[in-house]
Structure 1
């Protein structure tokens, strides 16, 4: 007879430990635990979890503590070596903690200490991080399928896999499948019990026998007797499932239970995964248990509470707990009665908020359909499957699109827990929390976009914080392309707070006690460790965005040194664009970019000297890469010319001279020569007649077809190349005449180059070019017949058509009150 069985309906005697085997994150188990504790009134409550968290238990009663939350353990000297123990409102462990605090009963954690679990995995598993913990999927949780979850490989080796107090699947069961013939049971123990009961779905079986049977009513201890018997039968057949760690954990828990019995003279209640109950009931000598836990590796750890999310609970790997439907489970736990009716009301409210027509009649009909489905399927109460089917049919009209919203917002949910300010935290975390409050940038589990106008002080502060956090590796926000403006004074961020960011903050704490100090130190260290010149220039850009005035001089010194020593034109060309982009942020952010402009101009000068020799004798791939460098440098010089550095003169003029050299040299690959001619033409440094002459020379019969095709690719490839041919009949005629004269044996060599060039054009441009080629030269119509000097355009100004667009031009230029003089000037421009 077990201690629970001896208690029976007459009450618990207290002589034997009251072992309450639970399903982690199970609302039915949570209700049963609360009922059993109310009936037993133990003197002490022992809970499966890391003993280092005992000092944090009182914080669970703080009015500012709102689950879901998690215990976070990390190595003091290596914060990235960490593990989490998530707890939701419907977790039996959380219910036990809250009951103990309300009844002023001591509560303690009794699982293997985190000081061992964080380091054990790296030594026992040979530093194999697996997939971040190797968390298998087991539906919404097993009675205790955590087995090794508190000692995750990923957490022990720095990948921060979840070590929660009850994942729904064995952390390493898949990895150890070969070690034990029945290790699949460890992945989903409920599956074996469900199969024995004739169910093909373990989740549905658990709902029928536990969630829908009113656990906690009548005999408060009866559910745990049944669960213990079932787990005992499984352990007899499958043992520990091939996991030696379970044996060590259970030995440590037995030692803690014995110590509590001696201290309190009995009256000990234990809340743990049901899988462990048979082992804790087993009679083993103290010496044998101590021998198992002796000599375990250890590391110094810190622990605290951190916010968690329902979305993280719904993930079966990494940090997740493997619960498919935390929102639904939270509803079952909190609904005092009529859970189906209350759930349908929630769904209707959500759909109405999304402008879908859902009436009270829809709610009534959905409830009836769910109950009918449950009766037809032989279930005592409608479960998630029946309610989902009813919502799809009645409220969503058979569509899965609105149903996906219900799943995301309600079945899973975007709930983000909160922890009190009194919770232990590294100084950097406290400074971050202070900045979040001051800038009104509250962490949220739901992804949202944030538009910032850097001309406003509050938005500029938010931008600085987000850029500094990204530099520290805390990716709270991701910068995206702004839809409203392309100006440098606007930024768009996509924000979502993930629980593991707490680990990243702890890791970044080694760089400083404030966000500013830590980001500055991290930037200087990254500059010293940067491998290439482009890495340093990218870091300089990030320092400007994050406004790190103390870090920028050190980064610039390293940048100048690297630039002076690097003779590779490709490296210099890669570095220049990022450097010049950084200059654009000086005005709106008020940053002194004089030193940056000086280095950028010096870099450009060295590129001008080294580029022509570097473009000689290149193969096809190298020539294409160099062509991209030429484009990047051209754009950078255009920006740099707007804010030239002192002593560097006319950079644009010298760059145009370099392009002329590239366009005239026979040793330069055609794709680079053609691009040089095109860039000169776009900048107005080359007349169209001269461009046509150069193209005619290249496309002459003396040039190999493949080289000519490469030149065409460089000249008309990229943005605007198609329109250039559309509006310049001579260029189009040259290309058309050359293409029709390519010998048949060479055509297959040139075709891939031409296809790559012309396939990049917009469909409308390709269609226009095809029509022009079909008509032939000189057949473009009246526009081409009038000799204007510019092929494709008329000879003079059509005043009537120009007057029609003047009001729009005035509106765009902000000249609504323009007088006759302004109108005449605009007409001339038009």
Structure 2
């Protein structure tokens, strides 16, 4: 039989793609065999759908374990995609000949490396392209490949494939399977599929595969020997579909694992075979102009000339990416790498996201998600973008619920932007970016239900029943309210009530309360009934008030620091509880007991005193008395330093308090100057940590106040008896602040 037409390629290579297209046009085979999982035969017709736009990927996943998945990505410039589209346009048959995904997914590593990029021989891993470049006298394998393949001119369409197959044959003789025995299994399956195709179509068959496999497909073997290699292989039940892919993800090793660093550039080379440098410089100029960089036509002309000159000096047939990048930097970017980074990100790599037709197979959950995305006008995009939501609007509220439900299912399409909006308020900010791996996460989540709402509800119920930590259940309750999962709340609330009744650890209760208190705010904006939640939260607050004082006695340094965080969180949470007067009064009583108890660590007594002072629960004189007692000579210096850290440390604005109340500053200063030299060394690290948290301006002002010493009398200075404040209010100075304050708050001045 006449040897088949075997076109050995480098995956995602535009030169290989053009060569495949030219060879197929010249030979016009009746059937085209493509390296890829055999199950994809049922999906190949979708490649001709007008709504199919590469980059796309074949996704295979195990039915019983959707997380076990693998991708076979293809771009518009991938030789496999070009071969498929040529065959479909010409009416030729298309077959995928690689090992079925059912076998690949059963392997320990479901991503079967095709061995083209990295091959090992005698324990040494090699790159066959690098070996060929070295044999040709080139040190840079990528540049050599670009020169001889990607940038080559027109000629005999099959000659380059014959030369490459001969070179790979020599490497296979030297390295065998290259340390990848799986390649022998895959190639045995390819030969069996090739024999079946030749029996059906005769010798009029072409094969497009990785160049490393080309010699193996023309090697003479017996059917029995090939079948023996496939006998007994483990397999799983697998499903396959097309999914959108991105240019950025083409650099990942999966399936067609020849990752590339410049998919945007390769796509340009394939789409613009004539005058590629001129067209590329024009695109770069358009991008820079859109970003307000001054780029003229003269810049473009000079950049093209420089790229061609560099290629000639470096002995290259045409300017490659290195030459065009150097020319762009020197001429269009005026030597700056800042705009050049923009060019690399937007054009050299690019954020192209492919599309697949609606008729592609998908799990029911994926179809419901796509429907919701269309209804809410939330189109998946490869570029990262921020989305601001006003929860008072119906559409934005539905968008928020969808994104929260997906996060509950582990599909992290969107992430909340911390600091841009407060949880539970009427505004939310999200950062969205669609990644191809999310299709696998959706497939995994499909076991919970056929719609996003049903799946999230089932997932929430399951987590509630399996949760052991009280804080986990309260966080889940908060998430259910954010996601609008009313049907899951009864199960979550029962689990929460049961767990709260059994948990006697005050630290656990204190850790759980803030999430419940935040959740109580959602009823105002999201229309959620939080009455059952309020009862549990109020009960937790009461138990915390009863158990916190004894729980704070005798704590070591680390435990006291952790309890300080819990106290801060509970203090904020109590103010959010319904019927705030009752819980707030009880909580204030707890803080008073903590501030007065000598057995409580100094950091907690100081924090309790500060919270009472901020809330106006104690007078300034009382705060000064407590500080004076804590800093008395009889108090060990480490305990006094811990009290100061609790009172003015952390993100509590303690520095500003000391700036504006020189009485408290004087107490701290007086204690500090009285610490014995030996003890001062012990308390210095804690003091440095306390004061290093202040803004530089606050630290500078404190230093100036201490250096100045106490002052009294005079306008604008400390008055007798009230250090740090004038005797009377200066209304003219106070009124001068009002216009700026109204401007900051966005309010109108009432005359």
What TM-score do the two structures reach when normalised by structure 2?
0.97
Quick one: which of 783, 786, 789 aligns to 2:719?
Answer: 786
The Cα offsets for residues 4-24 of structure 1, whole Å up to 9 and x where unpaired, read as xxxxxxxxxx83311111111
Query: Match of 2:733?
Result: 801
Query: Match of 1:657?
Result: 589
CA contact (8 A) 2:366 2:443 kept: yes
In structure 1, distance between residues paired with 2:416 and 2:116: 35
Q: How much does 1:730 deviate?
A: 2.1
In structure 2, distance between residues paired with 1:218 and 1:692: 92
CA contact (8 A) 2:104 2:112 kept: no
Query: Match of 1:249?
Result: 186
In structure 1, distance between residues paired with 2:155 and 2:563: 80
Tell which deviates more after alignment, 308-317 or 353-362: 308-317
* Cα distance change on mapping 1:477 and 1:318 into 2, 3 Å: farther
Answer yes or no: is 1:747 the counterpart of 2:680. yes
Q: How much does 1:441 deviate?
A: 0.6
Query: Match of 1:706?
Result: 638
What's the Cα RMSD here?
A: 1.9
* Cα distance change on mapping 1:247 and 1:486 into 2, 3 Å: closer
Quick one: which of 42, 58, 63 aligns to 1:76?
Answer: 63
Query: Match of 2:122?
Result: 181
In structure 2, distance between residues paired with 1:219 and 1:795: 98
Answer yes or no: is 1:490 the counterpart of 2:427. yes
Query: Match of 2:84?
Result: 97
In structure 2, distance between residues paired with 1:318 and 1:757: 54
Answer yes or no: is 1:219 the counterpart of 2:156. yes
Query: Match of 2:139?
Result: 200
Answer yes or no: is 1:64 the counterpart of 2:38. no
CA contact (8 A) 2:115 2:180 kept: no
In structure 2, distance between residues paired with 1:751 and 1:399: 47
In structure 2, distance between residues paired with 1:353 and 1:561: 60
Query: Match of 1:717?
Result: 649
Q: How much does 1:315 deviate?
A: 3.5
Query: Match of 1:366?
Result: 303
Structure-to-structure mapping, 1:512-531, within 5 angstroms: 512-531=449-468
Q: Find the residue that maps to 1:184 and give its secondary structure.
A: strand
Q: How much does 1:230 deviate?
A: 0.6
Q: Find the residue that maps to 2:553 and give its secondary structure.
A: coil
Q: How much does 1:220 deviate?
A: 2.2
Query: Match of 1:684?
Result: 616
The Cα offsets for residues 219-264 of structure 1, whole Å up to 9 and x where unpaired, read as 2221111111111111111111111111111111111111111122
Q: Find the residue that maps to 2:54 and give its secondary structure.
A: coil
In structure 1, distance between residues paired with 2:713 and 2:257: 66
Query: Match of 1:310?
Result: 247
* Cα distance change on mapping 1:554 and 1:688 into 2, 3 Å: same
The Cα offsets for residues 255-287 of structure 1, whole Å up to 9 and x where unpaired, read as 111111112233121111111111111111111
CA contact (8 A) 1:15 1:267 kept: no
Quick one: which of 339, 343, 348 aligns to 1:402?
Answer: 339
Query: Match of 1:40?
Result: 27
Q: How much does 1:791 deviate?
A: 3.5
Quick one: which of 110, 113, 117 aligns to 1:169?
Answer: 117
The Cα offsets for residues 630-681 of structure 1, whole Å up to 9 and x where unpaired, read as 11111111222xx238xxx611110111111111111111111111111111
Matched positions, count: 750
Structure-to-structure mapping, 1:119-158, within 5 angstroms: 119-120=106-107, 122=108, 153=109, 156=110
Query: Match of 1:379?
Result: 316
Q: How much does 1:707 deviate?
A: 1.1
Q: Find the residue that maps to 1:49 and give its secondary structure.
A: strand
Q: How much does 1:443 deviate?
A: 0.5
Quick one: which of 758, 766, 772 aligns to 2:705?
Answer: 772
Answer yes or no: is 1:693 the counterpart of 2:630. no
In structure 1, distance between residues paired with 2:654 and 2:616: 15
* Cα distance change on mapping 1:721 and 1:319 into 2, 3 Å: farther
The Cα offsets for residues 73-119 of structure 1, whole Å up to 9 and x where unpaired, read as 00011100000000111111111111111111110001111000101
Tell which deviates more after alignment, 627-636 or 481-490: 481-490
The Cα offsets for residues 129-186 of structure 1, whole Å up to 9 and x where unpaired, read as xxxxxxxxxxxxxxxxxxxxxxxx2xx3xxxxx558x68634xx6xxx6xx426422x
Q: Find the residue that maps to 1:266 and give its secondary structure.
A: coil
* Cα distance change on mapping 1:309 and 1:106 into 2, 3 Å: same
Q: Find the residue that maps to 1:302 and give its secondary structure.
A: strand
Q: How much does 1:784 deviate?
A: 3.9
In structure 2, distance between residues paired with 1:319 and 1:673: 63
Query: Match of 1:435?
Result: 372
Q: Find the residue that maps to 1:639 and give its secondary structure.
A: coil
In structure 2, distance between residues paired with 1:598 and 1:82: 45
Answer yes or no: is 1:448 the counterpart of 2:385. yes
In structure 1, distance between residues paired with 2:361 and 2:606: 64
The Cα offsets for residues 555-601 of structure 1, whole Å up to 9 and x where unpaired, read as 11101111110001111111111111111222111111111111111
CA contact (8 A) 1:316 1:323 kept: no
Quick one: which of 524, 531, 535 aligns to 1:587?
Answer: 524
In structure 1, distance between residues paired with 2:739 and 2:671: 45
Answer yes or no: is 1:733 the counterpart of 2:666. yes
In structure 1, distance between residues paired with 2:423 and 2:182: 57
Tell which deviates more after alignment, 746-755 or 65-74: 746-755
Quick one: which of 543, 546, 549 aligns to 1:612?
Answer: 549
Structure 1, unaligned stretches of length 5 or more? 1-13, 123-152, 157-161, 820-830
Tell which deviates more after alignment, 483-492 or 424-433: 483-492
Q: Find the residue that maps to 1:284 and give its secondary structure.
A: coil
CA contact (8 A) 2:189 2:230 kept: yes
Query: Match of 1:148?
Result: none
* Cα distance change on mapping 1:409 and 1:293 into 2, 3 Å: same
* Cα distance change on mapping 1:343 and 1:464 into 2, 3 Å: same
Q: How much does 1:453 deviate?
A: 1.0
CA contact (8 A) 2:420 2:428 kept: no
* Cα distance change on mapping 1:809 and 1:497 into 2, 3 Å: closer
CA contact (8 A) 2:389 2:428 kept: yes
Quick one: which of 400, 410, 413 aligns to 1:476?
Answer: 413
Tell which deviates more after alignment, 794-803 or 82-91: 794-803
Q: Find the residue that maps to 1:503 and give its secondary structure.
A: helix
Q: Find the residue that maps to 1:48 and give its secondary structure.
A: strand
CA contact (8 A) 1:722 1:765 kept: yes
Q: How much does 1:815 deviate?
A: 6.8
CA contact (8 A) 2:11 2:258 kept: no
* Cα distance change on mapping 1:301 and 1:780 into 2, 3 Å: farther
Query: Match of 2:361?
Result: 424
In structure 1, distance between residues paired with 2:371 and 2:379: 11
* Cα distance change on mapping 1:798 and 1:781 into 2, 3 Å: closer
Quick one: which of 589, 593, 603 aligns to 1:671?
Answer: 603
Q: How much does 1:486 deviate?
A: 8.3
Tell which deviates more after alignment, 466-475 or 799-808: 799-808
In structure 1, distance between residues paired with 2:627 and 2:658: 12
CA contact (8 A) 2:169 2:215 kept: yes
CA contact (8 A) 1:68 1:310 kept: yes
Q: Find the residue that maps to 2:428 and give its secondary structure.
A: strand
* Cα distance change on mapping 1:817 and 1:661 into 2, 3 Å: closer
Q: How much does 1:40 deviate?
A: 1.3
